[in-house]
Amino acid sequence: MTGAFPSEIHIPDKVLSGKNGVLEFPGKAASFGSRGVIVHGASVEKNGLKSSLVPLLKKAGVETAWFCRGKAHPHALQEASVQEIRDVIALGKNTNARWIAGIGGGSVLDLAKAAAGLYHAHEDPVYYQEGGKLTEKGIPFLAVPTTAGSGSEATLNAVIINPGKKVKLSIRHPAFLAAGVILDPELLKTVPESVMAHSGMDALVQAYESYTSKNATLFTETLALRAIEMIGASLIPAAKPAPTDIQPTRLDIGERDKALHDMLFASFLAGLAFSHSRLGVIHGIAHSLGVLYGVPHGLVCAACFIPSIKMNREAMGEKYARMSRALGGDLTEKITTLQTALGITSPFKGKPVIEKEKIIAETLRSGSTAANPKPVEREDVEFLLGELF
């Protein structure tokens, strides 16, 4: 029987939402201390957000050191690396930072989150990535997502790459929870179509895996099912404002704003849901495939979606029909239509499977795989690989 609530609930206690909410960031940040580090992606410089925030931060009496992922590490991987965590912590200590904020997509938020959480840690980040226990308290982490997908602003974990060992593993700790979150849908307006499509599919897969997770509770199911419904209705209009076959007329401004708003809020709900239920085999295999083939995380998740539904069809029972109702049609057909409309195809088809044994071993070891509704054996991973390649 599904329990009503997880044994512990972790929700950021300061969540500010609404149009242009990002302009409130300097005042909110000042309440955590007059010096901080802002980790961000290159888009924050290109779209003018940084130049709008600089005078407001000054006015609020906040001194900030800016860390641009792309600039500091031109060959930065999609996910944050252990070296970047060390670099952000060093920048914070050199500038006497009292908080660390992330303004960007999932990897930017994960980097800021891990650096804030490990700020006073005695060991190197690799130690915690490999399961070491964190006992020191970090400094506040503030999250301003600029994409709708990872849900990192709502979760307790940061996905980190150790390029030397070619592994991608989460560091997870209750103290990693954001102290403050700003959800501003205006920030999604400059997100490129492919990023919106891939990160939106990540959010949808996260909601699906949370909803069907072995650890699901009434609490997580409610959040996840609502996220599925909202993403199903808003991902195409959010990613494709121009006319398409499915949506023949250009969206008016109000419709587009609503789609972006719903995507941002739904990915937050999905993040809250999976943070309390864990995920499933898609996220179990996605880390290995993403690292080995250099494919964006959201695209790997999208490619694994239908194979996972086939694999879990029986184990998920009546949840299949409930997700279908939330999407307004048969789950498999709806996901297929959505992916076709977004131009998503498997990046693996026709390619050879490299390092098969490593993929299988890592998938079977994953905490996400452990939450999959059908217990996952070696032959299940082989089934997924057979469908993907």
Residues of this chain that interact with Fe ion (CB under 5 A) are 202
Bridge partners of residue 158, in order along the sequence:
171
Minimum CB separation from Fe ion for residue 348, in Å? 17
Alpha helices in 172-240 (DSSP H): 193-212, 218-239
Minimum CB separation from Fe ion for residue 213, in Å? 13
CB 233 within 8 A of CB 326: no
CB 105 within 8 A of CB 69: no
Minimum CB separation from Fe ion for residue 309, in Å? 16
C-alpha span between 323 and 332 (Å, rounded): 10
Nearer to Fe ion, 270 or 326 (CB): 270
Minimum CB separation from Fe ion for residue 381, in Å? 18
Nearer to Fe ion, 184 or 202 (CB): 202
> Who's near 62: CB < 8 A, 6+ residues apart?
26, 29, 30, 34, 35, 36
Nearer to Fe ion, 43 or 206 (CB): 206
CB 87 within 8 A of CB 67: yes
* Residue 300 in tokens: 């790997």
Minimum CB separation from Fe ion for residue 248, in Å? 32
C-alpha span between 59 and 55 (Å, rounded): 6
Residue nearest to Fe ion (CB): 202
Closest C-alpha among 38, 23, 58 to residue 104: 38
Hey, what amino acid is at 284?
Answer: G
Nearer to Fe ion, 79 or 202 (CB): 202
C-alpha span between 238 and 243 (Å, rounded): 12
Nearer to Fe ion, 232 or 296 (CB): 296
DSSP state of 290: H
Minimum CB separation from Fe ion for residue 297, in Å? 6
Nearer to Fe ion, 64 or 206 (CB): 206
Minimum CB separation from Fe ion for residue 68, in Å? 23
Angle between helices 319-327 and 331-341 (to 10 degrees): 40
CB 139 within 8 A of CB 98: yes
* Residue 232 in tokens: 């199903």
Minimum CB separation from Fe ion for residue 282, in Å? 8
Nearer to Fe ion, 57 or 300 (CB): 300
DSSP state of 252: P
Put residue 61 in one of left, alpha, beta given phi > 0 → left and psi -120 to 50 → alpha. left
Nearer to Fe ion, 84 or 202 (CB): 202
